[in-house]
C-alpha cells in the first residue's frame, strides 16, 4: 500500500465525507504504520502494514477532517 492508493481513492471519489456526504477532496500527512522494529547486529527490520492520514473534506461549507488509518471506513455503502 502507498500514498498512490489514497490519491486514487480520492480521485475516483470513493471516500465520502460522513458529514456532508460529498466526496472527500484531499488528505494531509502520511505515515506508515510501523508494527514491529527489530534492531540488532546492524540489522534493522521494519514490518509495515498500513498507513495513517488525515482526510480533509474541503468541500464548500464543510470543515470535516479526521485522522484515520487505512483501510478507510468512508466508502460507498
6 is an interface residue for Zn ion by CB under 5 A: no
Q: Where are the alpha helices (DSSP H) in the chain?
A: 3-11
Under a CB-based contact definition with an 8 Å cutoff, are residues 74 and 18 in contact? yes
Contact region for Zn ion (CB under 5 A) — 11-19, 29-37, 40-48, 68-76? 11-19
- Interacting span for Zn ion (CB under 5 A) from 10-18, 36-44, 47-55, 68-76: 10-18
Number of neighbours of residue 27 by Cβ within 10 angstroms: 20
Binding of residue 64 to Zn ion (CB under 5 A): yes
Q: How far is the CB of 45 from Zn ion (least distance, A)?
A: 40
Q: In the chain, what is the straight-line distance between the N-terminal and C-terminal CA atoms, in Å?
A: 22
Amino acid at each position: 500500500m502507498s500514498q498512490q492508493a489514497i490519491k486514487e481513492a480520492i480521485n475516483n471519489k470513493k471516500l465520502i465525507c460522513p458529514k456532508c456526504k460529498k466526496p472527500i477532496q484531499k488528505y494531509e500527512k502520511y505515515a506508515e504504520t510501523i508494527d514491529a522494529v527489530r534492531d540488532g547486529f546492524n540489522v534493522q527490520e521494519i514490518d509495515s502494514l498500513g498507513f495513517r492520514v488525515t482526510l480533509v473534506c474541503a468541500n464548500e461549507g464543510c470543515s470535516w477532517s479526521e485522522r484515520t488509518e487505512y483501510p478507510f471506513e468512508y466508502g460507498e455503502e
